[in-house]
Structure 1
């Protein structure tokens, strides 16, 4: 809702799609049922990419209007990456986690940005990866409660190092912010609060396990205002 009205026709269906896919492993009792839900979305995206009529679904139908063929193919990779959520084992190492974050959050933000205006892919993906990590770290207590081992290494020094890498990627994206057009920056509004969360995780990694990463309402609102103005 903080995005310009013309951007919302792209952002609403894209982020609704992302929520549908992210929820798939958690709203069913059997992994096979989650596989079926993910496969349904892969087939829907294939139909969009091929120019076939969109499925009559509350998210799939507007999503088809927001994507071109390349965007649909990119999102297919996002859905494939979400199959990792069906596993309970931790990522093998930090590199594997970053690969997952790029395929999910990085791809989501890139598809949104390229649909809105000119942008440099590497910059958008770096910002998306940082946002993805901040959200992942904030979700650690809930993921653990559901039987998932979300971190490749849960030691405080490893969590701090992971957060510092996220801050480095965010700083890299910010230095090149001019390579993302004003129109495309609307795709990165949710990146606004990532820096503060990652800084807390880097300085006090115990906050991650305690679920104390998110900003208070006032700080979150100020971050959103700044991001909506293109200063994520």
Structure 2
């Protein structure tokens, strides 16, 4: 029993380190959670780290897809009470056992990433609503499961989580546009409806792609349009604040990094290639960011 306990402690420590290393802006948010919720939140967020970076750390896209398929199978094994020798999976299994986390949310998250990984680089989403669904499936579900782990049952909190997840997901996709362009996924997260409106859609040799090389004007206008949708989701989430239980507010703190990123985009006039986006934490000094998170946490706001 002592060995098993030591292994589990090591697994949770690994989760904390993964989140701190790869998702620092949310790591600081999780530190504001009540102590009895942190372990579960870090395990869930570490699971998100594992699946979100699967394609990025793989030298071959097929290897990244295999990692995602492994996680899809791992979830089934965990819910069948089969042991897995992987620290994040071990921590996740403990959280699922202790808090009865819904399998559907976890499956939905990894399956959305699998579908995205299988998408041809030239297969452009048709509309912003498609990206909103992807954000809902990958980011909002993470907030749903965290609320669930804290025993928080609230329709208002779920609705706020849905909007915050969509906003966060859309803004992170915008921030990642230069990275995906460098990986030859030219503008794959700017939908056709937006690209057409702003003259970014190019048809060449029987295929279509979104032109990102123009770093001024039309691209910034397209980014502004998508960021405006994210901003609307944040506003809708805050309109629900009066009906959201106080204990749910710390779980909804990811609205803070979303707002910080949105504000930074405004500051650089929605130029996603501006190097200021990469400075500090989401483009702002670390101390200022931490104070903002602490201020919202202290006031029980999101």
Q: State the TM bucket, normalised to the shorter chain.
A: 0.7 to 0.9
CA contact (8 A) 2:224 2:270 kept: no
Structure 2: 5+ residue stretches without partners: 1-30, 196-211, 213-218
2:47 corresponds to: 17
| Residue of 291, 294, 301 corresponding to 1:222 | 291
Cα separation, 1, equivalents of 2:59 and 2:43: 26
Residues 69 and 164 of structure 1: CA distance in aligned 2, closer, same or farther (over 3 Å): same
- If the length of structure 2 is used for normalisation, what is the TM-score? 0.69
Residues 46 and 69 of structure 1: CA distance in aligned 2, closer, same or farther (over 3 Å): farther
Structure 1: 5+ residue stretches without partners: none
CA contact (8 A) 1:201 1:208 kept: yes
CA contact (8 A) 2:163 2:234 kept: yes
**May I ask how many residue pairs the two structures share in their alignment?**
231
Higher relative contact order, structure no. (Cα contacts within 8 Å, ≥ 6 residues apart): 1
2:179 corresponds to: 142
Cα separation, 2, equivalents of 1:221 and 1:231: 15
CA contact (8 A) 2:221 2:270 kept: no
Residues 96 and 212 of structure 1: CA distance in aligned 2, closer, same or farther (over 3 Å): farther
1:55 alignment partner, SS class: coil
RMSD over aligned CA atoms reads 2.2
- If the length of structure 1 is used for normalisation, what is the TM-score? 0.88
Cα separation, 2, equivalents of 1:164 and 1:62: 37
Decide which structure has the larger Cα Rg and report it. 2
Cα separation, 1, equivalents of 2:106 and 2:273: 31
2:265 alignment partner, SS class: helix
1:119 corresponds to: 154
Residues 200-224 of structure 1 show CA distances to partners (whole Å, capped at 9, x for unaligned) of: 4357544322243422223311221
Q: What is the 5 A alignment of 1:62-211?
A: 62-67=91-96, 71-83=102-114, 84-87=116-119, 88-89=121-122, 90-116=124-150, 117-120=152-155, 121-148=158-185, 149=187, 150-152=189-191, 153=195, 155-201=219-265, 204-211=268-275
Cα separation, 1, equivalents of 2:35 and 2:254: 16
CA contact (8 A) 2:100 2:149 kept: no
Q: Give the deviation of 1:62 after TM superposition.
A: 1.0
